[in-house]
Amino acid sequence: MATETVTLHGQELNYLDAGVGPAILFVHGLLGSHRHWVHLVDRLTSAGYRVLAPDLFGHGGSAKPTGDYSLGAHAATLRDLLDHLQLERVTLVGHSLGGGIAMQFWYLFPERVQRLALVSSGGLGRQVSPLLRAAVLPGSEWVLPIIASRWLTTKVNIAGRALSRIGWPARPQLDEAWRGFVSLGDADSRRAFLATTRCVIDIGGQTVSARDFFPTRTSVPILLIWGARDRIIPVVHGIAAAKLIDGSQLELFENAGHFPHLDEPDRFATLLREFITD
């Protein structure tokens, strides 16, 4: 699906812009890109919505500069993109790291957020996958080039194709996770990944929490979507947040993992449409 590019502060930002109508701004997670949302485009644009899905700096087709990869920096970039597109308010949808960025955006620019949907969101508790905690260990910048090398990823790809030929079921979330991991073979992507991860995670887990800043009541409607089988960020974070925020809505995808929007796109799109029109 065709994307566009805008130069913000001297760096190119790649983004998807499709449809006409009320705007929905999607924010992907670590090692993600706009590709995580493309399967929702037809489902939403046909219902009269405008879909915006940028590649965050350090990800996908966007620039990977040396610099600030904090939640606030990413939130400011989203604000600049909306200014470029002359959009005042949007429904904001953030997945994983993107959920943390979405909450930071809401905190900094509340007048720009019409509704907020958090999907398996970071920033709501300490626990996180040991794999991500390992990425912040000293020396990880020397280990990642080895495990993400072209030689090793090619071998794994060959094994994956062999499994698919004997009937191993394809999973969209595994495809996207693998695509993100392979991107670490690029030195600039790897540096941006480590910088981003170390802004929000240490060896003990997530270091940034929005729970202390969440109002118990808010005029902004909030939807929480979580996969009950999430092994990256536990579902208890979503349950606790739903109890904390009066009037919020929690939807559990019983058979989904960390990517409910990939595991059950039809249900996800329906929920989102209902959330926006309610």
Report the SS3 class of residue 12. strand
Angle at 133 between CA 127 and CA 137, to 5 degrees: 150
DSSP state of 56: P
Select which of 28, 59, 62, 96 is catalytic: 96
d(CA 249, CA 117) in angstroms, rounded, equals: 9
Catalytic, 46? Answer: no
Whether residue 230 lies in the annotated active site: yes
Give yes or no: 202 in active site: no
- Rounded CA-CA distance 196/1 in Å is 26
Find the length of the chain. 278
DSSP 3-state of 13: strand
Contact 96, 27 (CB under 8 A): no
What residues have CB less than 8 Å from 252, skipping those under 6 apart? Answer: 226, 227, 228, 235, 238
Residues contacting 73, CB < 8 A, separation 6+ = 57, 67
Which residue among 36, 230, 237, 263 is the active-site one? 230
Q: Would you tell me how many other CB atoms lie within 10 Å of the CB of residue 81?
A: 18
- Active-site pick, 28, 258, 261, 263: 258
Q: Do 208 and 72 touch, CB atoms closer than 8 A? A: no
Residue of 31, 14, 116 lying closest to 69 (CA atoms):
31
Q: Give the Cα-Cα-Cα angle 70, 205, 137 (nearest 5 degrees).
A: 80
Point out the residues that are catalytic.
96, 230, 258
